[in-house]
């Protein structure tokens, strides 16, 4: 996330394995340590192990460099394209630069920065996939995993001095974008390369701690590619190592991160249970109290309505009259006054009137003559009806006290 702070480069040849570790401190890159170990044909992995131990690689970015059997390198000019589009352009260029394309081919490429003419130099290294077997065997035997393989000439930039690496290409030197046969002169450009690399990396003196600039030049060129950012820009295009040879970066960090996230989540749940749980319990208690208050209010309302109704009934009873204290005597006089052939079928006695339904066989019964002598009542309403086939007449009689006026 904060950029590459340290890395290591291993340079392998059929005879030797060389390595160096680079670190950055105070904006200055420094070659910290280096090692060179010859390969024992009976135990090739021993050289890899020894170099890895000497450079104290630890958990840094590790890149491999060197030449693969029958590998071919060439350059062509392209334009600025995406990685996928640039790969398609490389596919089209293969037939122009190779007489025979390997059947099970693999290639890696690195695009430079556009020049004034907007042309982008693209270096391509193509080889048969079986060429990685020797590298895979050495890495597997020493339990080594690398982040990538970079052919040294892919790290070249326009304007670089002539590059002659006899351990990789003994008969040709690369200059101005093409291969040139090695002559009697012109291939010795080590001083120019040393001056160029020294501007970017603080190098130890030749001979100190086994450092030899001539022998370390290929891995120093790859180191320059990392330092200038070209490796990061072309990382996907350079990827050729199988997955089993690449390390799983940040696995431990991811596991620790997941565990910490789980712990943070558990801590958050615990805190939530303490705060939200307590608030929830208070909320439920308030809800229960609220329901109880509603029940009490409803009960109080019902009690209030019942008491109000009882109060109104009491007020009505209190407001009602005490009645007539002589009602029994008056009722007896009324009964004695009625003839024997009169039947009282209905009687309703109130404070202001007496409603009676009488049945009588005498259709000419003179009720006013009977009632008026009593002195207490007078006839308020009299209605008599008799059916055509019936001998019994029905009389509706309403008596009112003589002191009360009859409402018509």
The pLDDT tens digits of the residues spanning 186-240 come to: 455 888 999 999 999 999 887 777 788 989 999 999 999 999 989 999 999 999 9
Per-residue pLDDT band for 403 (boundaries 50, 70, 90) equals: low
Cβ neighbours of residue 122 under 8 Å, at least 6 residues apart? 75, 76, 77, 78, 86, 89, 90, 109, 110, 111, 112
- CA-to-CA distance for 109 and 118, rounded, in angstroms? 19
Lowest mean pLDDT across 35-49, 77-91, 196-210, 309-323: 309-323
pLDDT for 322 equals 63
**Cα-Cα-Cα-Cα dihedral sign, residues 192, 198, 201, 206:** positive
- Average pLDDT of the segment spanning 351-356: 84
**Cα-Cα-Cα-Cα dihedral sign, residues 186, 124, 68, 151:** positive
Per-residue pLDDT band for 338 (boundaries 50, 70, 90) equals: confident
Question: C-alpha 298: how far from its chain's center?
Answer: 48
Six token digits for residue 387: 């059916």
Rounded-to-10 torsion of CA 133, 139, 145, 146: -70
Of the two residues 149 and 104, the one the predictor is more confident about is: 149
CA distances to 17, 223, 316, 346, 398 from 48, in Å: 6, 19, 117, 131, 136
Per-residue pLDDT band for 406 (boundaries 50, 70, 90) equals: very low
3-state secondary structure of 203: coil
3-state secondary structure of 346: strand
DSSP assigned state of 239: -
Helices (H), 77-212: 83-97, 133-141, 190-198
Cβ neighbours of residue 325 under 8 Å, at least 6 residues apart? none
**Cα-Cα-Cα-Cα dihedral sign, residues 310, 313, 319, 320:** negative
pLDDT for 1 equals 39
- CA-to-CA distance for 199 and 133, rounded, in angstroms? 37
Query: CA geometry: angle at 179 spanning 173 and 180, to 5°?
Result: 65
Buried b (16+ CB within 10 A) or exposed e, 47-60: bbbbbbebbebeeb
Buried b (16+ CB within 10 A) or exposed e, 86-109: beebbeebbeeeeeeebeeebbbb
Helices (H), 30-177: 44-54, 83-97, 133-141
């Amino acid at each position: 996330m904060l950029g590459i702070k340290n890395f290591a480069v291993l340079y392998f040849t059929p005879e030797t394995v060389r390595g160096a570790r680079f670190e950055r401190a105070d904006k200055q890159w420094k070659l910290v340590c280096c090692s060179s170990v010859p390969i024992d044909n009976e135990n090739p992995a021993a050289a890899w192990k020894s170099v890895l131990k000497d450079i104290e690689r630890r958990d840094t970015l590790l890149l491999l460099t060197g030449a693969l059997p029958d590998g071919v390198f060439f350059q062509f000019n392209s334009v600025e394209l995406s990685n996928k589009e640039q790969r398609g352009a490389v596919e089209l260029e293969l037939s122009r630069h190779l007489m025979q394309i390997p059947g099970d081919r693999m290639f890696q490429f690195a695009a430079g920065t556009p020049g004034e003419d907007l042309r982008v130099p693209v270096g391509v290294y193509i080889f048969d996939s079986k060429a990685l077997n020797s590298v895979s065997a050495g890495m597997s035997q020493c339990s080594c995993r690398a982040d990538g393989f970079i052919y040294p000439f892919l790290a070249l930039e326009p304007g670089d001095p002539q590059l002659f690496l006899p351990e990789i290409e003994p008969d040709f030197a690369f200059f101005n974008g093409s291969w040139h046969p090695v002559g009697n002169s012109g291939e010795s450009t080590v001083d120019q390369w040393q001056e160029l690399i020294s501007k970017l990396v603080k190098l130890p003196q030749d001979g100190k701690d086994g450092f030899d600039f001539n022998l370390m030049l290929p891995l120093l060129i790859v180191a320059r590619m990392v330092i200038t950012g070209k490796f990061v820009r072309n990382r996907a295009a350079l990827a050729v190592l199988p997955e089993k040879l690449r390390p799983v970066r940040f696995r431990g960090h991811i596991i620790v991160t997941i565990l910490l996230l789980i712990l943070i989540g558990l801590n958050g749940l615990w805190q939530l249970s303490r705060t939200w749980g307590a608030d929830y319990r208070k909320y439920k208690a308030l809800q229960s109290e609220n329901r109880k208050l509603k029940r009490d209010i409803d009960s109080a309302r019902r009690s209030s309505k019942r008491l109000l109704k009882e109060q109104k009934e009491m007020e009505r009873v209190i407001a009602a009259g005490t009645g007539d204290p002589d009602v029994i005597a008056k009722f007896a006089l009324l009964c004695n006054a009625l003839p024997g052939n009169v039947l009282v079928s209905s009687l309703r006695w109130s404070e202001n009137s007496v409603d009676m339904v009488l049945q009588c066989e005498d259709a000419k019964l003179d009720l006013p003559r009977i009632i008026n002598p009593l002195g207490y009542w007078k006839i308020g309403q009299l209605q008599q009806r008799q059916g055509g086939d019936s001998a019994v007449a029905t009389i509706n009689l309403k008596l009112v006290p003589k002191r009360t006026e009859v409402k018509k």
